[in-house]
Structure 1
Amino acid sequence: MGASSSTESNLMASLQRNLSKIVVAPSFAASLFFVYGFIIWTAWMAFSKSRMMPVYDWAGLRQYERLWQMERWHVAIENLLIFGGLFIVICLFLGCLLAVLLDQRIRAEGVLRTVFLYPMALSFIVTGTVWKWILNPGLGLEKMMHDLGWATFKFDWLVNSDFAIYTVVIAAVWQASGFIMAMFLAALRGVDQDIIRAAYMDGASLPRIYFGIIIPSIRPVFLSAIVVLAHLAVKSFDLVIALTGGGPGYSSDLPATFMYTMAFQRNQLGISAASAMMMLATVMAIIVPYLYSELRGGKKNG
């Protein structure tokens, strides 16, 4: 009887110690299968002879060679460089500027902060749809200006293949700059106020305090913001689909929309998988150095 109760108590104690692991195990197993399992499967497809249907015969680098021979892929890469560069730079500038302005303890700061942050609460599908209406020459900004009597006003970027990618930049900046503002504002509020008071007492002007003391002290936030924005830029799909559909033609294609088109419209599964792996490599090239620097910094601080 004593041995039985001892076994039960040991079992209960073991369950209590491992309860968190037991609860997390199903979701962990699902993540392994549906995330990392399909990453491995996609990587294999990129080295296979797959076209419309999966084929598991090894083909080496054939799909990557076909990918880099396609003009559409080169357009997508060029658009990613344009979109990513402008998106990151403008969001950093606007986010930092808005954060500095709100840091002056102005009236209605809470209302303004909510207004700037609100776009991030919307999905990219909603953002793309709204900006598609705004930038449509037939019913948006251009039509409004014509109705107001400015007959020569023209803003047809949405239907102009040379400028369509810039409409994606406009919509993306509108949505993400408020989030970057919140990151910078939190960092600004965390700066040691004694240093700022000492600078004031030494006669330093407000711009000099910000550019010489405050902004250099929040450099890690700049790195975090760049990583977040670069990740969003590489993975942008729904915004492009809702706003331009990758058009006119494929002039505003990004790698994510290219991958979707190849897989589900052109029945080129192998090329789509190769483009997906190129996107993964790009994301890893951004995230891995960042994680390494964070872990290295944590070890030094420890």
Structure 2
Amino acid sequence: MVRRTDIKRYFAAQLPKIILAPSGLIILVITYGFIAWTASISLSSSRVMPIYDFVGLEQFIRLWSTPRWYIAVKNLFIFSALYLSIATFFGLFIAILLDQRIRAEGFLRTVFLYPMALSFIVSGVAWKWVLNPGLGIQNVVRSWGWTSFTFDWLVNPNYALYTVVIAAVWQSSGFAMAIFLAGLRGIDNSIIKAAQMEGASQVRIYVSVVVPMLRPAFLSVVVLLGQIAIKTFDLTFALTNGGPGGATEMPSMFMFSATFERNQMAVGAASAMMMLAAVVAIIVPYLYSELRKPANDH
């Protein structure tokens, strides 16, 4: 005979699942449902409106036959390489400085993390003011008397992409710092003290002992910033709008333009699926390495 207390315990144990079930179902439908819908559109001949026919990989062939797509992919590779390397370096450097137990550490952590609390649209608009030759750095320096000073990267096709890198690094370095600092604080002090007793310098300890132990933090930073780089849209849209002359156009902007401006919905969906494939290529190895840890530990 089932007792009332057993029923209460059962429902108490299942209560979190019952509460989270509606939200989980909504997320499941919205996220994976729209991924499936985008995949079906990429295999159709949709233009202005969805058409639920099947044309195979025609849109993907068309996508990779478009020179503008190759420019967007090239820009993404350059942006991602610079963004990941510089943001990771600055994040690690700041974390090591803060790990010295300096004064006002809490205040400095807040200062470095604050940019991440802003939306990329806000950052893009702010940096557009700073980098605009008629309003920002160039105008200010020339007003001081240096009339020959030039800093027109924002409107120069050869350098415009680097302005996006500057803004993105400024916004994300604090995030990388927080991850590295958490990793540094998780390292056993006895290891560092043992290295000090062996006569190793502080620099040597960090290079040979501490940094190699931050491998999980490095992996997390690369994965998180990597997927941010692939999906970058709002920062570029606010800062350069893909210009000048497509010099800063990314795959996300290509997708937006193809879908909503050039009436090529199927091509836009195909580009979205290629971006999804790139994100999956980053996340899957990370998940694999994380999920196999318990088995190895066992």
Q: How many residues get paired?
A: 298
Structure 1 residues not aligned, in runs of 5+ = none
Amino acid at match of 2:92: C
1-structure distance, mates of 2:104, 2:8:
55
Q: Which residue of 2 aligns with 1:174?
A: 170
Aligned pairs for 1:170-249 (under 5 A) are: 170-249=166-245
Give 1:11 shift: 6.5
Where 1:184 maps in the other structure, the secondary structure is helix
- Percent identity of the aligned residues? 56
2-structure distance, mates of 1:30, 1:189:
38
1-structure distance, mates of 2:160, 2:104:
36
Q: Which residue of 2 aligns with 1:100?
A: 96
Q: Does 1:264 align with 2:246?
A: no
Per-residue Cα deviation, 1:68-97 (whole angstroms, up to 9, x for no partner): 111111111001001000000001111111
Give 1:10 shift: 7.5
Q: Does 1:161 align with 2:157?
A: yes
Give 1:279 shift: 0.3
1-structure distance, mates of 2:58, 2:206:
53
Per-residue Cα deviation, 1:246-281 (whole angstroms, up to 9, x for no partner): 111322111111111111111110000000000000
Q: Which residue of 2 aligns with 1:27?
A: 23
2:64 equivalent among 43, 62, 68: 68
Q: Which residue of 1 aligns with 2:84?
A: 88
Per-residue Cα deviation, 1:176-199 (whole angstroms, up to 9, x for no partner): 001111111111111111111121
1:149 equivalent among 133, 145, 152: 145
Give 1:9 shift: 7.5
1-structure distance, mates of 2:277, 2:199:
50
1-structure distance, mates of 2:205, 2:5:
64
Where 1:18 maps in the other structure, the secondary structure is helix
Give 1:103 shift: 1.4
Amino acid at match of 1:221: A
Structure 2 residues not aligned, in runs of 5+ = none
Q: CA RMSD in A?
A: 1.7
1:253 equivalent among 237, 241, 249: 249
Question: Please, what TM-score do these two structures have when normalized by structure 1?
Answer: 0.94
Give 1:154 shift: 0.8
1-structure distance, mates of 2:217, 2:279:
19
Give 1:15 shift: 3.9
